[in-house]
Amino acid sequence: MPTIVLRYGEIWLKGLNKSFFEDRFIKNIKFLLKKNNIEYDIKNLRARILLKVDKKVPDLKHVFGITSYSYAKEIDLDLKKIKKEVLKLCKKGKTFRITTKRLSKDIALSSQEINEIVGDFVVKKLKLKVNLKNAEQDIFIEILNKKAYLFDDKKDTIECFGGLPVGVSGLCTLILDNKNSILAGIMMLKRGCSLEIIRDKKISYKKLEIFSSGTKIKEVKHYSDYSYAVVDAGTLKNFKERNYRKMALRPLINLSQEDIDKKLKYFC
Protein backbone atom coordinates (compact mmCIF):
# COMPACT_ATOMS: atom_id res chain seq x y z
CA MET A 1 0.00 0.00 0.00
CA PRO A 2 1.39 3.46 -0.87
CA THR A 3 2.38 5.55 2.15
CA ILE A 4 1.31 9.18 2.51
CA VAL A 5 3.31 11.33 4.92
CA LEU A 6 0.98 14.02 6.30
CA ARG A 7 2.28 17.21 7.94
CA TYR A 8 0.39 19.64 10.11
CA GLY A 9 1.23 23.06 11.54
CA GLU A 10 -0.89 24.85 14.15
CA ILE A 11 -2.06 21.65 15.83
CA TRP A 12 1.56 21.05 16.90
CA LEU A 13 1.41 24.23 19.04
CA LYS A 14 -1.68 23.35 21.07
CA GLY A 15 0.06 22.15 24.24
CA LEU A 16 -1.93 20.14 26.77
CA ASN A 17 -5.08 19.95 24.62
CA LYS A 18 -3.18 18.92 21.50
CA SER A 19 -4.73 15.43 21.60
CA PHE A 20 -8.22 16.93 21.23
CA PHE A 21 -7.17 18.67 17.99
CA GLU A 22 -5.35 15.58 16.70
CA ASP A 23 -8.35 13.31 17.36
CA ARG A 24 -10.64 15.62 15.40
CA PHE A 25 -8.03 15.97 12.64
CA ILE A 26 -7.78 12.20 12.21
CA LYS A 27 -11.58 11.84 12.32
CA ASN A 28 -11.88 14.34 9.44
CA ILE A 29 -9.26 12.46 7.40
CA LYS A 30 -11.04 9.15 8.00
CA PHE A 31 -14.34 10.65 6.84
CA LEU A 32 -12.79 11.58 3.47
CA LEU A 33 -11.27 8.12 3.08
CA LYS A 34 -14.53 6.33 3.85
CA LYS A 35 -16.44 8.68 1.56
CA ASN A 36 -14.17 7.61 -1.32
CA ASN A 37 -14.24 3.88 -0.39
CA ILE A 38 -10.52 3.83 0.30
CA GLU A 39 -9.00 1.14 2.50
CA TYR A 40 -6.47 2.63 4.89
CA ASP A 41 -4.20 2.23 7.86
CA ILE A 42 -3.44 5.41 9.81
CA LYS A 43 -0.83 6.12 12.49
CA ASN A 44 -0.33 9.28 14.50
CA LEU A 45 3.39 9.69 15.15
CA ARG A 46 5.59 12.56 16.27
CA ALA A 47 4.94 15.59 14.00
CA ARG A 48 3.62 13.34 11.23
CA ILE A 49 0.60 11.23 10.42
CA LEU A 50 1.35 8.17 8.30
CA LEU A 51 -1.42 7.00 6.05
CA LYS A 52 -1.30 3.79 4.03
CA VAL A 53 -3.97 3.56 1.33
CA ASP A 54 -4.91 1.24 -1.51
CA LYS A 55 -5.15 4.09 -4.06
CA LYS A 56 -4.63 7.82 -4.44
CA VAL A 57 -6.82 10.02 -2.27
CA PRO A 58 -8.82 12.77 -4.04
CA ASP A 59 -9.38 16.12 -2.29
CA LEU A 60 -7.02 15.37 0.61
CA LYS A 61 -5.75 18.96 0.45
CA HIS A 62 -9.26 20.14 1.36
CA VAL A 63 -8.93 18.73 4.89
CA PHE A 64 -8.00 21.77 6.94
CA GLY A 65 -5.08 21.18 9.28
CA ILE A 66 -2.85 19.56 6.66
CA THR A 67 0.01 21.83 5.57
CA SER A 68 1.40 19.37 3.01
CA TYR A 69 1.59 15.67 2.22
CA SER A 70 3.89 13.43 0.20
CA TYR A 71 3.47 10.06 -1.49
CA ALA A 72 6.52 8.23 -0.17
CA LYS A 73 8.35 4.92 -0.38
CA GLU A 74 8.61 3.29 3.06
CA ILE A 75 11.73 1.17 3.63
CA ASP A 76 13.68 -0.29 6.53
CA LEU A 77 16.15 2.04 8.19
CA ASP A 78 19.23 0.60 6.53
CA LEU A 79 21.74 2.87 4.78
CA LYS A 80 22.41 0.39 1.96
CA LYS A 81 18.68 0.10 1.22
CA ILE A 82 18.28 3.87 1.37
CA LYS A 83 21.05 4.42 -1.18
CA LYS A 84 19.59 1.77 -3.48
CA GLU A 85 16.08 3.31 -3.37
CA VAL A 86 17.40 6.85 -3.83
CA LEU A 87 19.06 5.71 -7.07
CA LYS A 88 15.64 4.59 -8.33
CA LEU A 89 14.16 8.02 -7.57
CA CYS A 90 16.90 9.99 -9.34
CA LYS A 91 16.51 10.70 -13.04
CA LYS A 92 19.57 10.83 -15.26
CA GLY A 93 20.67 14.19 -16.62
CA LYS A 94 19.03 16.25 -13.85
CA THR A 95 20.64 18.09 -10.97
CA PHE A 96 19.75 16.88 -7.49
CA ARG A 97 20.09 17.40 -3.78
CA ILE A 98 19.48 15.14 -0.78
CA THR A 99 17.52 16.49 2.18
CA THR A 100 17.32 14.37 5.32
CA LYS A 101 15.05 15.00 8.30
CA ARG A 102 15.49 12.85 11.39
CA LEU A 103 12.11 13.16 13.09
CA SER A 104 13.25 10.45 15.47
CA LYS A 105 16.87 9.73 16.35
CA ASP A 106 16.84 6.10 15.23
CA ILE A 107 20.20 6.29 13.47
CA ALA A 108 23.55 7.45 14.80
CA LEU A 109 24.41 9.50 11.71
CA SER A 110 23.36 13.15 11.60
CA SER A 111 21.10 14.49 8.85
CA GLN A 112 24.06 16.21 7.20
CA GLU A 113 26.15 13.04 7.27
CA ILE A 114 23.36 11.09 5.58
CA ASN A 115 23.03 13.83 2.95
CA GLU A 116 26.74 13.61 2.18
CA ILE A 117 26.96 9.81 2.13
CA VAL A 118 23.88 9.28 -0.05
CA GLY A 119 24.68 12.28 -2.27
CA ASP A 120 28.23 11.04 -2.89
CA PHE A 121 26.84 7.60 -3.77
CA VAL A 122 24.44 9.09 -6.36
CA VAL A 123 27.21 11.20 -7.92
CA LYS A 124 29.46 8.16 -8.32
CA LYS A 125 26.75 5.86 -9.67
CA LEU A 126 24.78 8.21 -11.95
CA LYS A 127 27.30 11.03 -12.57
CA LEU A 128 24.72 13.63 -11.59
CA LYS A 129 25.54 17.15 -10.43
CA VAL A 130 24.57 18.47 -7.02
CA ASN A 131 22.68 21.76 -6.84
CA LEU A 132 21.82 22.81 -3.29
CA LYS A 133 19.97 26.01 -4.20
CA ASN A 134 17.83 25.08 -7.19
CA ALA A 135 17.96 21.36 -7.82
CA GLU A 136 15.71 19.76 -10.44
CA GLN A 137 15.27 16.81 -8.06
CA ASP A 138 14.98 17.32 -4.30
CA ILE A 139 15.14 13.83 -2.82
CA PHE A 140 13.83 13.76 0.75
CA ILE A 141 14.68 11.14 3.36
CA GLU A 142 12.44 11.42 6.41
CA ILE A 143 13.40 9.13 9.29
CA LEU A 144 10.63 8.24 11.70
CA ASN A 145 9.71 5.30 13.92
CA LYS A 146 12.68 3.20 12.75
CA LYS A 147 11.70 3.57 9.09
CA ALA A 148 12.85 5.77 6.21
CA TYR A 149 10.37 7.54 3.91
CA LEU A 150 11.72 8.56 0.50
CA PHE A 151 10.21 10.90 -2.06
CA ASP A 152 11.04 13.57 -4.60
CA ASP A 153 9.75 16.74 -2.95
CA LYS A 154 9.21 18.53 -6.27
CA LYS A 155 7.15 15.70 -7.76
CA ASP A 156 5.54 13.86 -4.85
CA THR A 157 4.61 16.63 -2.40
CA ILE A 158 1.31 18.52 -2.48
CA GLU A 159 0.99 21.81 -0.61
CA CYS A 160 -2.23 22.27 1.37
CA PHE A 161 -4.09 25.04 3.21
CA GLY A 162 -3.12 24.37 6.84
CA GLY A 163 -5.39 25.86 9.50
CA LEU A 164 -7.29 23.97 12.20
CA PRO A 165 -9.48 20.87 11.84
CA VAL A 166 -13.14 21.66 11.18
CA GLY A 167 -15.18 21.04 14.32
CA VAL A 168 -12.78 22.20 17.05
CA SER A 169 -13.94 25.82 17.39
CA GLY A 170 -17.72 25.80 17.78
CA LEU A 171 -20.67 26.67 15.53
CA CYS A 172 -21.03 29.91 13.53
CA THR A 173 -23.95 31.16 11.46
CA LEU A 174 -22.94 32.33 7.98
CA ILE A 175 -25.09 34.90 6.19
CA LEU A 176 -24.89 33.62 2.62
CA ASP A 177 -26.05 36.53 0.48
CA ASN A 178 -23.34 36.95 -2.22
CA LYS A 179 -20.37 35.12 -3.73
CA ASN A 180 -17.99 36.74 -1.23
CA SER A 181 -19.86 34.92 1.54
CA ILE A 182 -18.36 31.66 0.24
CA LEU A 183 -14.87 32.93 1.04
CA ALA A 184 -15.99 34.16 4.47
CA GLY A 185 -17.32 30.67 5.17
CA ILE A 186 -14.16 28.95 3.96
CA MET A 187 -12.03 31.17 6.18
CA MET A 188 -14.15 30.28 9.23
CA LEU A 189 -13.93 26.57 8.40
CA LYS A 190 -10.16 27.00 8.23
CA ARG A 191 -10.22 28.34 11.80
CA GLY A 192 -11.92 25.12 12.90
CA CYS A 193 -15.53 26.37 13.01
CA SER A 194 -18.58 24.40 11.99
CA LEU A 195 -21.18 26.26 9.94
CA GLU A 196 -24.88 26.70 9.63
CA ILE A 197 -26.11 29.06 6.93
CA ILE A 198 -28.90 31.54 6.35
CA ARG A 199 -29.44 32.02 2.63
CA ASP A 200 -30.96 35.31 1.55
CA LYS A 201 -30.50 34.33 -2.08
CA LYS A 202 -30.22 31.09 -4.02
CA ILE A 203 -26.47 30.70 -3.80
CA SER A 204 -24.92 27.23 -3.93
CA TYR A 205 -22.76 26.28 -0.97
CA LYS A 206 -21.23 23.15 -2.51
CA LYS A 207 -17.77 24.75 -2.30
CA LEU A 208 -18.22 25.06 1.46
CA GLU A 209 -19.17 21.38 1.73
CA ILE A 210 -15.91 20.42 0.01
CA PHE A 211 -14.04 21.87 2.99
CA SER A 212 -16.44 20.82 5.76
CA SER A 213 -14.72 17.45 6.42
CA GLY A 214 -17.94 15.58 7.05
CA THR A 215 -19.37 18.20 9.39
CA LYS A 216 -22.87 18.79 8.01
CA ILE A 217 -23.65 22.35 6.98
CA LYS A 218 -27.26 23.00 7.95
CA GLU A 219 -29.47 25.55 6.25
CA VAL A 220 -31.55 27.45 8.83
CA LYS A 221 -34.00 30.35 8.86
CA HIS A 222 -32.79 31.77 12.17
CA TYR A 223 -29.47 31.18 13.87
CA SER A 224 -29.38 28.52 16.55
CA ASP A 225 -29.16 29.32 20.25
CA TYR A 226 -25.87 27.42 20.44
CA SER A 227 -24.30 29.37 17.56
CA TYR A 228 -21.74 31.66 19.18
CA ALA A 229 -21.28 34.15 16.31
CA VAL A 230 -22.75 35.43 13.07
CA VAL A 231 -20.43 35.67 10.05
CA ASP A 232 -20.97 38.00 7.14
CA ALA A 233 -18.92 39.07 4.12
CA GLY A 234 -18.81 42.75 4.99
CA THR A 235 -15.73 44.79 4.02
CA LEU A 236 -14.73 48.36 4.80
CA LYS A 237 -16.09 49.38 1.42
CA ASN A 238 -19.58 47.94 1.88
CA PHE A 239 -19.82 47.79 5.68
CA LYS A 240 -23.33 47.88 7.15
CA GLU A 241 -24.14 47.96 10.84
CA ARG A 242 -26.51 45.09 11.60
CA ASN A 243 -28.09 44.05 14.86
CA TYR A 244 -27.42 40.32 14.96
CA ARG A 245 -27.81 40.15 18.77
CA LYS A 246 -24.72 37.96 18.71
CA MET A 247 -21.03 38.51 18.20
CA ALA A 248 -20.40 39.48 14.55
CA LEU A 249 -17.36 38.16 12.70
CA ARG A 250 -16.26 39.70 9.40
CA PRO A 251 -13.20 37.80 8.12
CA LEU A 252 -13.10 39.86 4.90
CA ILE A 253 -13.26 43.27 6.58
CA ASN A 254 -9.80 44.48 5.49
CA LEU A 255 -9.80 42.91 2.01
CA SER A 256 -10.37 44.61 -1.33
CA GLN A 257 -12.52 42.93 -3.96
CA GLU A 258 -9.35 42.10 -5.85
CA ASP A 259 -7.95 40.36 -2.75
CA ILE A 260 -11.21 38.46 -2.28
CA ASP A 261 -11.23 37.26 -5.88
CA LYS A 262 -7.62 36.07 -5.58
CA LYS A 263 -8.37 34.15 -2.39
CA LEU A 264 -11.48 32.57 -3.88
CA LYS A 265 -9.41 31.41 -6.84
CA TYR A 266 -6.73 30.09 -4.45
CA PHE A 267 -9.20 27.97 -2.49
CA CYS A 268 -11.54 26.98 -5.31
pLDDT in tens, 142-198: 999 999 999 999 999 999 999 999 999 999 999 998 899 999 999 999 999 999 999
Q: Could you read off the pLDDT of 20-61 as tens digits, one per residue? A: 999 999 999 999 999 999 999 999 987 799 999 988 888 899
Whether the per-residue pLDDT at 1 is higher than 80: the answer is no
Whose CA is closest to 160, among 16, 62, 27, 70?
62
What is the overall mean pLDDT for the chain? 93
Q: Does residue 218 register a pLDDT over 80?
A: yes
For the chain, give the percent of residues with pLDDT over 70.
Answer: 99
Characterize the bridge pairing of strands 137-144 and 147-152: antiparallel
Q: Which part of the chain is CATH 3.30.2130.30?
A: 3-159
Rounded CA-CA distance 151/164 in Å is: 26
CATH 3.40.50.620 placement within the chain: 171-267
Q: 94-104: per-residue pLDDT in tens?
A: 999 999 999 98
Provide the CATH number for the domain formed by 171-267 in this structure.
3.40.50.620
pLDDT of residue 200: 76
Which of 180, 187, 197 lies closest to 166, judged by CA? 187
Q: Give the pLDDT of residue 47.
A: 79
* pTM score, whole prediction: 0.91
What is the tens place of the pLDDT at every residue in 163-177?
999 999 999 999 998
CA angle 65–227–218, rounded 5-degree value: 75
The per-residue pLDDT for 261 is 96
Rounded CA separation 95/112 (Å): 19
Report, at the CATH architecture level, how domain 3-159 is classified. Answer: 2-Layer Sandwich (3.30)
